[in-house]
Structure 1
Amino acid sequence: MKCRVKFLVQTYLWTVIVFVMAKVAFMLFCREGHEFAFGDMFQVVWHGLSLDLSTALYFFIVPFLLSIVSIWYWAKWLTQLLRGYFLFISLVFALAFVADTSLYPFWGFKLDASCLQYLESPNEMAASVSAIYMIIRFLAFAVTTIVIYGGYRNIAPPQHRTATPPKYVSLILHLIAIPVIIIGIRGGLDESATNIGQVYFSQNQFLNHSAVNPVFNFLDSIDSLDSSNISYDFMSDEACEKITSELFNTESIDVDTLLNTPTPNIIVILMESCGGQFTELSGRSDITPHLNRLTNEGIYFTNCYANSWRTDRGTLCTYSGYPSFPTISVMKLPAKSRSLPCLARSLRDTKGYATHYLYGGDINFTNMRSYLIGGGFEQLTWKADYSAADQKTAEWGVRDDITFGTLFDMATSMSQPYLIGYSTLSSHEPWDVPIHQFDDEVLNAFYYLDQCIGDFIAKLRNSKAWQNTLVIMLPDHGIIYKEYDELHPLRNHIPMIWVGGAVKAPRRVETICNQTDLPATLLGQLGISHTDYTYSRDVLSRSYTHPLAIHTYNNGFSLVDSTGFTVFDLNTMQTVKGNGDINLGKAILQSASKDLNAR
């Protein structure tokens, strides 16, 4: 048994060590143009370790299975099989490491499956570099393979011996290890599975990229390669361009200024799942009384619609003004999401805003960390920053009343001007909140969220920060609840409310719009160019001449414009409700998918 344990431990540790050495080598060989201190190497290794530990377990499976076999049988051919496997993964690792360090200076991002498309034209690929360059890379590949395989070659294989303890005990111990391995591969028991976003820790993207395991990044990108290159071809490119050019105009013209200052502190609160069916939009006054009251005290966008139905998608739509898609999440595609504009970066780079994001859950979920850091949020506060007791106050993490307290502390202590992004989480299944106003647990959760908002606004109003602060509240998405499904116009009808001392006077904006229009509309109010937000519109501008909102769901979309509410099913390619011009939605999807594939 001892020989098996030693074999497994040495195999796993050597794999992890190989990944760590690859990080250091990557930083040294790709350091040109990237400034970092010696201590940054330790930060890179430490933050990247969780991904290395998980990735190493994938390649641990074959040795583990052979260890089980050795309980009953071992022969020379099994030793040769094991060494053949070690040689194979040594070649794979070496190829990944050398390709990663070679391509990064050209691409600026980690090795992923997009390199596969260049294998179709090897002559053109080879023409991009010199013969000496290729010789050096080949030698580097050979040396790296020898070093990695040498480490595995020195590990003694398991041997079939009289079992002490008995064979069945050894088998039981191996079986007990299986769920541990599965949990390790997944990255733990939290909601989020292992992803590259979990290793992001710095505003220096080179350090973030250095922490990413290139083997994992490549394998993970293969899984999303086909789905990310979606294509909607409903019409000619000329017809599509004609429609979208009329729908999207990035200029702000003759904008009515609704704010007291061009540089307010800004707090964006994404209210988890809080669709219009829980607010005064549905005629209910008892579920969200504080939100209902605030609609009369600030700027209330009464005809705003969510772009999607998931938090990761709604978050990206809100901050990047980028459309959602029926079958994929752009946030889960770092190669795409990192190239998008973001409110945090726009405000930070143009007016020197301090930027901070707050979330009581797992910020590694769906690559959220990498998106936020890449988008310009300089600091992140999330579940791990709270006590163990606070982390257990809700199924998804830290309960909203606790994080709203953190939000108030930030709003009254951060250097000004600032942008704070905040995602609530308690109004989400399983609806575990500490109050019981309604028998219906769903309604009860939104009542609780509303109470948290009311308490926060009341405290902020009595602070010095209120006078120069703009609080923007809108949901990340709506939810299906009772009769409110994708065929119901209120399903995705969401409230967007701007309040605070920075607001000149109460106003109702009846114009139809999307949550993706927030960046252009806000930046237009601040006098900041938003030309890079191609799909975001300043709804307060005279250039906004065709009010329309689009929402995508799993293989379908809905539209709201002057003709009413229309739903189109992409599986059947038929309109299932309404009689609006469905070509508008088709053109948006076609244009957006073309843009997505070009990034």
Structure 2
Amino acid sequence: MNKLKFTLGPVYPVVMAGFVLILLITASRLGLALWLSERVSATDGWLTVFASGLRVDIASVCILLLIPAMLLSLFSGEHLAGRVLNYLLRIWITAALWFVAYMESATPTFILEYDLRPNRLFIEYLIYPKEVFSMLWTGYKFELALSLAVSVISLVLGWRFSGYLVSGLRYPKWYWRPLILVAVVLIGALGARSSLGHRPLNPAMVSFSSDPLMNDLVLNSGYSVLFAAKQMSSEASAFSYYPGMPKEEIIAEIKASMVVDKGAFIPGSRPTLANHYASYQGKPKNIVILLLESHGARYVKSLGGIDVSPNLDKLMEEGWGFTRMYASGTRSVRGIEAITTGFSPTPARAVVKLGASQTNFFTIADVLKSNGYHTQFVYGGESHFDNMKSFFLGNGFTDMQDLPRFENPQFVGSWGASDEDLYKEAHQQFSRLSKQEQPFFSLVFSSSNHTPFEYPQGKITPYNQPAATVENAVKYADYALGQFVEQAKQSDYWDSTVFIAVADHDSRASGSLPVPVGHFKIPAIIFGGGIEARQDNRLASQIDLPPTLLSLAGISSQNPMIGNDLTRDIPVGKQRAVMQRGKNFGWMKADNEVVVIRPGQGISTYAYDPQADSLTPANISDADIKRAHANAMWGSLAFKQGYYQALPDYQTTAPEPASLR
């Protein structure tokens, strides 16, 4: 070891620190691979995971330590500047060891929750320390203790280790230093790039499987998080990840896929802007969206799931229930995006969180506001979470009813007031507005079905043990919803309101499929005064719900939404579901043919088996592939070109086409 120290001279601390970091990450990867051995074997990925993983780790270490190595090459020595540099280097190495150790120790818990390594979600949650720490303290005490222990141990050992690394070094003569610097830059830069090609190393280069978690296993968690942070600084676009497609073809395919008379399109710079005519022509009705946190179809017996949602099952019989409704994403903001704007999912964050959509972006709240509606958001937590408050207030919502405005909630958990408190507040709001004869639109967002699954005890018979499980939380959320519906039936506003109970997404979109279709299936039931009971077996997407609700409420408008008005007959060929999982885009037809588009892997086609929840490679027509491709590109194109900007007037004045009468 002393001989190596003598040979490497001033760069010895950096080389040894890098070696230890790679050992630490490799040990973590080995543990994760053994834990996930069935999935690694299923992809025949043992060699790839470790060989490509080593490539990523070397690049990560080079990125992390290149600047310190350059400084040491030029300025190290026994003089004052050299001693200061060594002290700063010790801090850097210690911080690097802590960061790597902490990120790898946090990885198993993150995988259990999201079936992926820590990524941009990890960063986004750090923005809300109050809510997240409360959640962790309540439901993840062991994980918190482990993270604290890892942090203390890594900091103490890292500081001692760094002290050994900088002691007894041999420093070269000044005339050797430029050569050492050149060598360090060449080796470090090549290692960091890990490629002689046009583009440096990125996750797409080491992706090898249709199982997203296996591709993530190749990465290390520090790299995954830092790469996500870099990507967040320049928002993702489909044009950066998917095969190219001319703008004119995208627009033509999207317009052809819409169930809109050709004469309804409005000439101008917004290609999908069209006159949309309500099927209901009576006095405009209120609209209430009951957005159910993480309430996938697998928790609804009538949709093939387990028996923990008896009230939703009852509503499926009493109302207009959709048996083939699919979410557009895997996060709440993606569900909010779909249900309030009808906007297509993209590889970027949902528009709720994008800077350019915080004002002047189309929402049905803006449409309804221009038609004299009171528009509000009712939420048991803090409405600033996930940027909801900013987006809503900038785009048509006028009233935020969140936890600080609730009066004496009976139960408050990590994510806010219980669903019973939420629906109590909503009922009070609706009753007040009804007495004022004020038409209203309200988005009511539940939160009880969210880790760590806190809810008032004694309300339900637990489905399983312990009490804080997702199944029990779902059962409580369903109980609270049932209580509200029974109360609403006796209210003054029932007959004049169109309600929809719909999930934002499933609780977890896990599994080895590139797009786990079964985890996108969600309950959606429209009910209220005048809504006839029916089972609707058509394939539908969340983006179809906003135009449908406007139509049921009697609101005609000019708007850019491409979703189907489900009160109309929808040709089988135009029924589809759009699904976004991370950067992977899925498009499914009514006959269960599926097109998947993935970064760096192009377009794949499958046949989906709902019973087995499996995708089998299959041939699909070029026309369908082209339409799916256009749908994958549309959201990014529309966002960049401003096709989804709000309008000053949403009134429709043109006569309704005969084909829609």
TM-score by length of 1: 0.59
What is the aligned counterpart of 2:421 among 402, 411, 431?
402
Q: Aligned match of 1:227 in 222, 235, 246?
A: 235
Determine the structure 2 residue equivalent to 1:498.
526
Select 2:450's aligned residue among 403, 428, 441: 428
1:246 aligns with 2:246: no
Q: 1:508 to 1:392 in 2, by over 3 A?
A: closer
- How well do the aligned residues superpose, as a CA RMSD in angstroms? 3.4
Q: Give the AA of the match of 1:566.
A: V
Q: Give the direction of change, closer, same or farther, for the CA distance of 1:519–1:256 in structure 2 (3 Å limit).
A: closer
C-alpha distance in structure 1 between counterparts of 2:510 and 2:236, whole Å: 33
1:463 counterpart = 2:491:
yes
Match of 2:388 among 355, 368, 373: 368
1:116-135 map, 5 Å: none
Contact 1:254 1:541 (8 Å CA) reproduced: no
Offset from partner CA, 1:294-340 (integer Å, 9 cap, x none): 11111122222111111112102111111111342221113224232
Tell me how far apart the structure 2 counterparts of residues 264 and 476 of structure 1 sit (CA, whole Å). 23
CA distance in 1, matches of 2:297, 2:526: 16
The amino acid across from 1:430 in the alignment is P
Cα distance in 2 for residues equivalent to 1:279 and 1:340: 34
CA distance in 1 between counterparts of 2:633 and 2:488 reads 44
Gap regions ≥5 residues in structure 1: 1-184, 193-220
The aligned residue for residue 141 of structure 2 is none
Alignment partner of 1:344 is 2:365: yes
Deviation at 1:360, TM superposition (A): 0.9
Alignment of 1:39-188 (within 5 A): none
Residue 430 of structure 1 deviates from its aligned partner by 1.4
How far apart, CA to CA, are the structure 1 residues paired with 2:441 and 2:388? 17
Q: Find the aligned partners of 1:328 and 1:481 in 2 and give their Cα distance.
A: 17
* 1:442 Cα offset (Å): 1.2
State the secondary structure of the residue aligned to 1:268.
strand
Aligned counterparts of 2:509 and 2:637: Cα–Cα separation in 1: 34
Deviation at 1:586, TM superposition (A): 1.7
Is the 1:250–1:534 contact (alpha carbons within 8 Å) kept by the matching residues of 2?
no
Q: TM-score, normalised by structure 2?
A: 0.54
Return the offset for 1:242. 3.0
* Alignment partner, residue 380 of structure 1: 400
Amino acid at match of 1:559: W
Equivalence map 1:254-273=2 (5 Å): 257=279, 261-273=282-294
**Counterpart residue identity of residue 446, structure 2:** T
Pairing partner for 1:522 from 519, 526, 549:
549
| Residues 1:556 and 2:588 are matched in the alignment | no
What does residue 591 of structure 1 align with?
634
- Residue 569 of structure 1: how far off its partner (Å): 4.7
Q: 1:362 to 1:433 in 2, by over 3 A?
A: same
Q: Deviations over 1:475-514 (max 9, x none)?
A: 11123277697654321111211111242x2122222221
SS where residue 523 of structure 2 aligns?
Answer: strand
Task: Report the residue type matching 2:392 in the other structure.
Answer: L
Structure 2 CA distance for aligned equivalents of residues 187 and 291 of structure 1: 32
Match of 1:239, SS state, is helix
**Matches of 1:187 and 1:513, distance apart in 2:** 34
- Structure 1 residues 532-571: aligned runs within 5 Å: 532-542=559-569, 546-566=574-594, 568-571=596-599
Instruction: For residue 549 of structure 1, report the CA deviation from its aligned partner.
Output: 1.1
> Share of identical aligned residues, percent?
24
Change (3 A) 1:499 1:547: same
| Cα distance, 1:555 vs structure 2 | 1.4
Please list every run of 5 or more consecutive structure 2 residues that lacks an aligned counterpart in the other structure.
1-125, 134-228, 265-274, 608-617, 643-661
User: 1:141-179 CA deviation, whole Å, 9 max, x = no partner?
Assistant: xxxxxxxxxxxxxxxxxxxxxxxxxxxxxxxxxxxxxxx
Aligned to 1:412: 431
Of 438, 442, 446 in structure 1, the residue corresponding to residue 470 of structure 2 is 442
Cα distance in structure 1, aligned partners of 2:597 and 2:445: 31
Letter in 1 for 2:432: S
Q: Tell me, what secondary structure is at the counterpart of 2:524?
A: strand
Separation (CA, whole Å) in 2 of partners of 1:518 and 1:242: 23
Quick one: which amino acid aligns to residue 405 of structure 1?
Answer: K
Determine if contact 1:299/1:498 at 8 Å carries over to the other structure: yes
| Cα gap change, 1:223 to 1:567, in 2 (>3 Å) | closer
Give the stretch that moved more between structures: 508-517 or 223-232: 223-232
Contact conserved, 1:325 with 1:553, CA < 8 A, in 2?
no
Would the alpha carbon gap of residues 186 and 596 (structure 1) be closer, same or farther in structure 2, given more than 3 Å must change? closer
Aligned residue number for residue 74 of structure 2: none
1:53-86 deviation line (CA, Å, top 9, x unaligned) = xxxxxxxxxxxxxxxxxxxxxxxxxxxxxxxxxx
Residues 576, 554 of structure 1: alpha-carbon distance in 2 compared, 3 angstrom cutoff: farther
Q: For each residue in 1:247-290, what CA deviation from the matched residue of structure 2 results, as whole angstroms up to 9, or x when unmatched?
A: 12456899895x69441222111000111111135424621111
Which amino acid in 2 is paired with 1:239? E
SS in 1 for 2:568: coil
Deviation at 1:427, TM superposition (A): 0.7
Note if contact 1:250-1:531 (Cα within 8 Å) is conserved in structure 2.
no
Shift of 1:423: 0.3
C-alpha distance 458-444 of structure 1, shift in aligned 2 (>3 A):
same
Match of 2:315 in 1: 294
Q: Does 1:276 align with 2:297?
A: yes
- Alpha-carbon contact 1:520-1:530 (below 8 Å) kept: no
Would the aligned equivalents of 2:498 and 2:549 in 1 still touch at CA under 8 Å? no
Paired residue total: 388
